[in-house]
Amino acid sequence: MSRFLVRRLIQSVVLLFIVLTITFFLLRLAPGDPMSRYYNPDFSPEMARQVRESLGLDRPLIEQYFRWIRAFARGDFGESIRYQRPVRELLAEAIPNTLRLTIAALALHILVGIFLGVLSAARRYSPFDRVNTIAALFVYSIPEFWLALMLILVFSLKIHALPSSHMQSLDVEGMSALSLFLDRARHLVLPAFVLGIASAASTARYMRGSMLDVLREDYIRTARAKGLPENRVILKHALKNAALPVVTIIGLDLPFLLGGAVIVETIFSWPGMGRLAVDAIYARDYPVVLAINFVVAAIVIIANLLTDIAYGVLDPRITVGRGGGK
Amino acid sequence: MDTLIDVRNLTTVFETEQGGSRVVDGVSFHVDSAEAVGLVGESGCGKSVTALSIMRLISSPGRIAGGEILFEGRNLLALSEKEMRKVRGNKISIVFQEPLTSLNPVFTCGEQVREAIALHQKVSRSESKTRAIEMLRLVRIPDPEKRYGAYPHQMSGGMRQRVMIAMALSCEPRLLIADEPTSALDVSVQGQVIELLCELQARLRMAVLLITHDLAVVAQMASRVIVMYAGSIVEEAPVRELFDATAHPYTQGLLGSIARLGQRSGPLSTIPGNVPDPFGLPPGCRFSDRCPRRFEKCSSAEPPLIDISPAHRSRCWLCGGRG
């Protein structure tokens, strides 16, 4: 197990390095530079040249690359060109916000997806199952941005039930801890729903299929022959087996969740990493873009590692970290 | 001896696009307390479906369409699902053919035995574990305390089948249905498992319904044999009488296809053709299209089960019946 972890960790570092290198050069291939946004009659080419020089952008690209890699290896993410603040500070503000959104969405994804999938399989071909199938297909087919706008239209603008943007109300000063929590929870509902519901729908479909496969297995017949009630057959004997492939899918889904967060955060003015990334890309704020890429890549790699470990916990036939075996 | 289970006119139908298919068609038989009965036939003759019907484990598209299953005087087919669950695994247990796929891969063997005990007996968790280990010892799994925590994939086929037997016997059932318990095992292990079953049957004084296509296994264990063909019983006899005074041509065919030690009389005989599918049953006797001794009457009317001796019945016109 520990040897497996060490090997995976080394692989991860190499992978991160490759991802960052590609990002660095791709970013520089894009037209424009951090000066683009300053262009106006008062900003002379001479001033632009001076700023570029101060940022080191006039050096050969390969030299910039190595300088940046060295700084990165020391843990120095540099300074945002746009905000004139350390990137580390910007990330420290944005990451917890994105985590709040994605964890809520992931919880919705897992709980709703598995619950509906199991229920659908247990009541196969019932009206519930049919409605569920159609609803899942429908939800899965809707683009996130459109769903977000429609929900804002209905819940924020028509019935005024939920806020349409930001993480909390403007007048939070002097609120009690409880009402602050409730205020933040209300702000979380729409973005987390938009972000999680499509994956929940697909997970529900996978879960249903996986569950139906497992319910045909001989050991399910054995469990019934023991005299176990059907709900225990499903929740104990079938669920653990059926969850195996679904765990992988949830793990592989995480990059899409983080990608979706970019859109959702932009629509709901959520001050997280996704919105920071979009703004940074528009402003060609290279240090910020690279740092966010680093964080997202690291999260995805860690999530994949956790998925592999979860597999070993769920299925005793799989020994994580040993070659061969059954 | 008192009758433990009395199956009367059991009919199990599988719904297909062509209509209902009577996989078990009016089967009647009984098993006495502490008696071992063999239920024999080719693949697809309905013997496993009969077993699952007794457990009421037939799932869609199959359903039990008629008949009665009297167990200790109660009709199992009239019980509620909740009452039936108290019978399953408790009064009637079943051991399936393939022990690897019949055990849940993600739970330990011990846990799967313990679960059956905890379900039917009011005992604490530690007590149920102690009893589960006792059961593993009873079926002669070496080092049962250690094997309690082993997963099915860590055991050999024979050991897995012993776990299945331990699970089935954990509540000391009155009737054990063994559905091809040795067919998936190595020949060398088959004998051990049958010996174990024989011994436990005597020790626990339970009845056994042994389902198999292997007449040698039946000869070793059962005292009475029921032969099924295409969903119905064609012959029923005490085991010696079946071998010595075989009445039905189908049974003769089955016996003729067994290899015997010390006999080198050319190739083994076979029964030509296959078990007919339930929609393609020949008119009259079900076996008439494959029977080497058929005559006109066989295609015109299906013979009833005809008494040959007090315990020997055969569904064949050759047995002197007057139709």
* Of A267, A280, A262, A243, residue with least CA distance to A113: A243
How far CA B96 is from CA of B24, B51, B72, B167, in Å, comes to 19, 10, 23, 11
Contact A221 B167 (CB under 8 A): no
**Could you tell me what percent of chain A has a pLDDT over 90?**
51
Grade residue A321 by pLDDT with cuts at 50, 70 and 90.
low
Residue B242 near residue B308 (C-beta atoms within 8 A): no
Q: Tens digits of per-residue pLDDT, A57-86? A: 888 889 989 988 888 888 888 888 888 899
Helix residue ranges per DSSP H, chain A: 2-29, 45-55, 61-73, 87-122, 127-141, 144-151, 177-215, 218-225, 230-232, 239-267, 273-282, 286-314
Contact A223 B104 (CB under 8 A): yes
Q: Which residues of chain B have pLDDT under 70?
A: 1, 259-266, 321-323
pLDDT at B265: 61
The identity of residue B257, as a single letter, is S
**CA–CA distance, B155 with B102 (Å, rounded to integer):** 13
Mean pLDDT of the residues in chain A: 88
Topology of A92-314 in CATH? MetI-like fold (1.10.3720)
Among candidates B55, B57, B103 on the partner chain, residue whose Cβ is nearest the Cβ of A219: B103
| Chain B CB within 8 Å of residue A224 CB | yes
Task: Count Cβ atoms below 10 Å from residue A11 Cβ, excluding itself.
Answer: 12
* Of A199, A169, A178, residue with least CA distance to A104: A199
pLDDT at A325: 37
| B contacts of A317 (beta carbons < 8 Å) | 105, 151, 153
Residue B69 near residue B75 (C-beta atoms within 8 A): yes
**Phi then psi dihedrals of residue B22, to 5 deg:** -85, 90
User: Would you state the structure tokens that stand for residue A170, as one six-digit string?
Assistant: 């403007």
| Chain A CB within 8 Å of residue B286 CB | no
| Chain A CB within 8 Å of residue B68 CB | no
pLDDT at B116: 94
How far CA B99 is from CA of A219, B51, B102, B221, in Å, comes to 9, 17, 5, 20
Strands B62-71 and B74-75: antiparallel
Residue B200 near residue B165 (C-beta atoms within 8 A): yes
Query: CB-hemisphere CA count at 13 Å for A153?
Result: 6
Q: Tens digits of per-residue pLDDT, B155-188? A: 999 999 999 999 999 999 999 999 999 888 888 8
Taking each helix axis from N to C terminus, what angle separates B109-120 and B157-169, rounded to the nearest 10 degrees? 10
**CA–CA distance, A250 with A243 (Å, rounded to integer):** 10
| B contacts of A241 (beta carbons < 8 Å) | 104-106
Contact A227 B116 (CB under 8 A): yes
Listed by start position, the domains of chain A span: 2-73, 92-314
| B contacts of A222 (beta carbons < 8 Å) | 96, 102-104, 112, 164, 167
Q: Tens digits of per-residue pLDDT, A292-316? A: 999 999 888 888 888 888 877 778 8
**CA–CA distance, A59 with A81 (Å, rounded to integer):** 17
pLDDT at A320: 62
Residues counted in chain A: 326
Contact A317 B105 (CB under 8 A): yes
| Chain B CB within 8 Å of residue A233 CB | no
Q: Tens digits of per-residue pLDDT, A29-46? A: 888 778 777 667 777 788
**Mean pLDDT computed over A12-27:** 90
Q: Tens digits of per-residue pLDDT, A79-122? A: 888 888 999 999 999 999 999 999 999 999 999 999 999 999 99
Q: Tens digits of per-residue pLDDT, B228-275? A: 999 999 999 999 999 999 999 999 988 887 766 666 566 777 888 877
